[in-house]
Amino acid sequence: MAGNTFVDFDEGLNTAIKKLRYALGDSPDNPTFVATITRRGYRFIAPVKASGNASSIAPSHAAAVAELTSPKASRWKLATAVLGIVLAIALATSLISRIGWWNRSTSTIHSIAVLPLESLSGDASQDYFADGMTDELIADLGQVNALRVISRTSVMQYKNVHKPLPQIARELKVDAVVEGTVLRSGDRVRITAQLIQASSDRHLWAHTYEGDLRDVLGLQNEVAQAVATEVRVRLTSEDRQQLSRSPSVNPKAVDAYLKARYFHAQDGIEALNKSLQYSEEAIKEDPTYAAAYAELSRIYIWLGHTLLLPPHEAFSKAKAAALKAVEVDQTLAEAHADLADVHFLYDWDWFEAEKEFQRAIQLSPSTVSAHSNYSAFLLAMGRPNEAMREAKLSPWRPTHP
């Protein structure tokens, strides 16, 4: 397909000239027919026969006329025809390729949805792992400033929903979708992902990544970098720094953290208690796991906001966990969003709350909670116009499929 084909026109022309010289018995060092013009290209230098009687040709060209009327002339004519055909094909192929590349590059991808990755384990109890990988890939891509990434809430509605990808893309109002599979075997992980352009249902890129569970964050970053590169968005230096992070984490901590995220997305007190339990387990396994502290903070914020725990107790623990997450990793958007919520809902520290909201959005422009909570903050501050603008910037939530 043209969009996925690259033709090196210069290399193709060089090959054609080599074949032509071989057919003519010509030499690049002492050429008779085709001379190389440095940094310019090639020039045909063989004498050309004029029309009319040979006697009208200047004596200085007599030898050339004799050569053109010799048996070698037939070979030269054949080679000339071959050259014309080869050059025409090379030029046409190059133009087709360049047109295909132009069409693709002008179809800029501004928005993307990561569909729920499919677990190949065959074990329903492992769904948390595939869902967790989906969450993390969404979070990684959400850090790219020039790319609009659909929220987890919206894409998870399509788990186990079999619809044509162009239809899903239209429902989500995105330019492209990422879909793929996850296979975990012990401490080994294999992630296969592919990028599909929505308008044409065309596969733009596909790749498989495999590594240890302790390096799974690095694998996710590799996938995110590949997608960002393929959709041709402009990456800022901060984007590149964020996507290049590949911390190594204790496999048991990763496993517990993904379970915490999985249960946090479920309804009910029992699921929330499991999420709390697994977050604490992840931190116990790896005290330097910033994402686990951020998850713990979110749980306590929810417990305090819903009065399932006394606000003083819940928000104090939420703040401590968020501060620890920021201490470990200052670039973790979720931690800054958690800290902003604590300052807003409990401390009533408006200055710090706004600063943390803005930092969270700067680090991850597609984070739904940061946008929506910042909008609520602005409204509470008596700034309705800014609140409305922020609400509009929040990644959309399409209707259920």
Q: For residues 229 and 147, is the Cβ–Cβ distance under 8 A?
A: no
Burial class (CB in 10 A: 0-12, 13-18, 19+), 397: middle
> 38-42, 195-199, 201-205, 331-335: which range is least confident on average?
38-42
Average pLDDT over residues 86-91: 49
- Closest by CA to 137, choosing from 162, 160, 110, 116, is 116
Superfamily of domain 251-393: Tetratricopeptide repeat domain (1.25.40.10)
- Pull the structure tokens for residue 82: 């071959």
What is the rounded radius of gyration, in angstroms, for the C-alpha atoms of the chain?
31
Confidence of residue 280 (pLDDT cuts 50, 70, 90): very high
Distance CA 242, CA 221 (A): 9
- What crossing angle do the helices spanning 311-328 and 290-305 adopt, rounded to 10°? 160
> 50-64, 133-147, 240-254: which range is least confident on average?
50-64
Distance CA 245, CA 137 (A): 13
- Pull the structure tokens for residue 20: 């032509």
Res 297: pLDDT: 95
Res 300: pLDDT: 95
**What is the domain partition of the chain in residue ranges?**
2-106, 111-243, 251-393
Q: Facing residues of 176 across strands?
A: 112, 197
Res 37: pLDDT: 61
φ and ψ of 400, to 5 deg: -65, 145
Which CATH fold would you assign to the domain 111-243? Answer: Rossmann fold (3.40.50)
174 Rama sector, left if φ>0, alpha if ψ -120 to 50, beta otherwise:
beta
Average pLDDT over residues 46-71: 48
Distance CA 248, CA 251 (A): 9
Q: For residues 221 and 140, is the Cβ–Cβ distance under 8 A?
A: yes
Q: Which residues contact 331 (CB under 8 A, 6 or more apart)?
A: 241, 242, 245, 363
Distance CA 297, CA 336 (A): 11
The amino acid that residue 227 corresponds to is: V
Does residue 366 register a pLDDT over 90? no
Compare 106 and 319 and report the one with higher pLDDT: 319
Residue with token string 């429902």: 171
41-44 vs 118-119, strand pairing mode = unpaired
Average pLDDT, the chain: 75
Compare 349 and 80 and report the one with higher pLDDT: 349
- Closest by CA to 292, choosing from 243, 341, 329, 344, is 329
Average pLDDT over residues 120-127: 80
Res 339: pLDDT: 95
Per-residue pLDDT tens over the stretch 383-393: 999 998 888 76
Distances (CA, A) of 371 to 125, 175, 180, 286, 316: 33, 22, 28, 30, 23
